[in-house]
Structure 1
């Protein structure tokens, strides 16, 4: 997660907890950074004018004035339920942190009775998951949106580790498994990289050339490819 996303995430985390405080240590664990980094980020948010303050004491921490941030949203309970289900399905995806804060944001800006109904309905929806569900690295999301060449340390199907410079073109999810679709410079062609085989993901400063991803490049032998924005 880059710093901009983390700053937004901190605001949403504090808004969801308001008026209860969140300690810097708990926030650091939540965003997988050091306490010093969290304190520096919160100081930057305070300097930008956001109503965040620190409460002293053993049970103290940071608090935000939630009433001074977002206005009401025009979601019906059924629409909110649909959004919450969709976000809940991303629990093991590369977008899980953003999905969690988006769900909190949605409920925070709805009128309290509608938010309560949507939450109650959503609690009746369950996902049947495997005992060991693969969790995609969060850096996968940054690699997808950065529009930069990405360096991968990757385990191939035989278990051998390779180093790849790739140009991300998109992603595919199938049965809970996430794949980064990219032009692989090592293989000089389009390849699908499984998220659970990625050992490290480094986004470089190099912009790749423009490439068009065609369905035939993926050599999909079954199923139909559908974008999340398709009706």
Structure 2
């Protein structure tokens, strides 16, 4: 068995046995490889962020948390190619680019057969120019969005004018290959979009930021018509409408 399908099968073998651990010897016998190969595979899974762990003591071995892993996924060759293209678009300048790399490793480990072949072939035919957004800026923006805190920015506008801003993040906008932080700017006392590759420095704070509706901050701007990408629609929870009480009887 070649390595990528074996990594996927190894995860599923541990999942099927969870929470009971399996020994390296048992896994080696199951996949007809050496114990050293199994150890290398387990190390590769750990480095990719898969929640496998060694269990010590009597009856020990290796186990996985089934609640923290993907269920079996069957991609078509077209779906696998689409994922490769989408992952390539999330280059190092995009928010959460670090997490994208580990997620792509998990997805790759789940692909087998024609899907894996299509993904590998397309991946060799995609290149990208180096990113312009500093990793420290991207990390600070991610943290502020995740924790809902005020962010301090050093920003250079289109005319080359640099300014210091304290902003309350609301969300992200992507347009024409650029990423923008949409936030309430305390300096301008209005909603503003900050292009990430023009942010020269970003410092997260511990101050909680008031919540802001993304659409409200975009209202009246050139991006007022921005819509959620269709590919993300399935990830958005359907709003629940409160049930109306029954009408009183006359």
Bucket of the pairwise TM-score, normalised by the shorter protein: 0.5 to 0.7
* 1:83, distance to aligned residue in structure 2 (A): 2.0
Could you tell me which residue of structure 2 aligns to residue 122 of structure 1?
122
Name the CA distance, whole Å, in 2 between partners of 1:189 and 1:97: 31
TM-score (norm 1): 0.61
Cα RMSD for the two superposed structures: 3.7
Unaligned runs of 5+ in 1: 1-17, 28-44, 53-64
Number of residue pairs matched? Answer: 178
- Residue pair 1:147, 1:207 contacting (<8 A) in 2 also: yes
- Shift of the 147–49 alpha-carbon distance from structure 1 to 2, 3 Å rule, reads same
Q: Residue 179 of structure 1: SS of its match in structure 2?
A: strand
Name the CA distance, whole Å, in 2 between partners of 1:218 and 1:178: 18
| Matching of residue 181 in structure 1 with residue 203 in structure 2 | no
Q: Residue 212 of structure 2: SS of its match in structure 1?
A: coil
Q: Residue 204 of structure 1: SS of its match in structure 2?
A: strand
What pairs up with 1:26-175 in 2 under 5 angstroms? 50-51=53-54, 68=64, 70=69, 72-91=72-91, 92-110=93-111, 112-114=112-114, 116-123=116-123, 126=126, 134-135=132-133, 137-139=137-139, 140-175=141-176
TM-score (norm 2): 0.57
* 1:21, distance to aligned residue in structure 2 (A): 6.7
Name the CA distance, whole Å, in 2 between partners of 1:19 and 1:190: 49
Task: Deviation per CA, 1:51-107: give whole Å up to 9, x if none.
Answer: 49xxxxxxxxxxxx7x95756333333323222221111113122222221111101
Could you tell me which residue of structure 1 aligns to residue 20 of structure 2?
none
**Higher Rg:** 2
Unaligned runs of 5+ in 2: 1-39, 56-61, 235-250
Over 4 Å off, 4+ runs: 67-71
Name the CA distance, whole Å, in 1 between partners of 2:188 and 2:133: 26
* 1:211, distance to aligned residue in structure 2 (A): 2.3
Name the CA distance, whole Å, in 2 between partners of 1:217 and 1:135: 23
- Residue pair 1:144, 1:171 contacting (<8 A) in 2 also: no
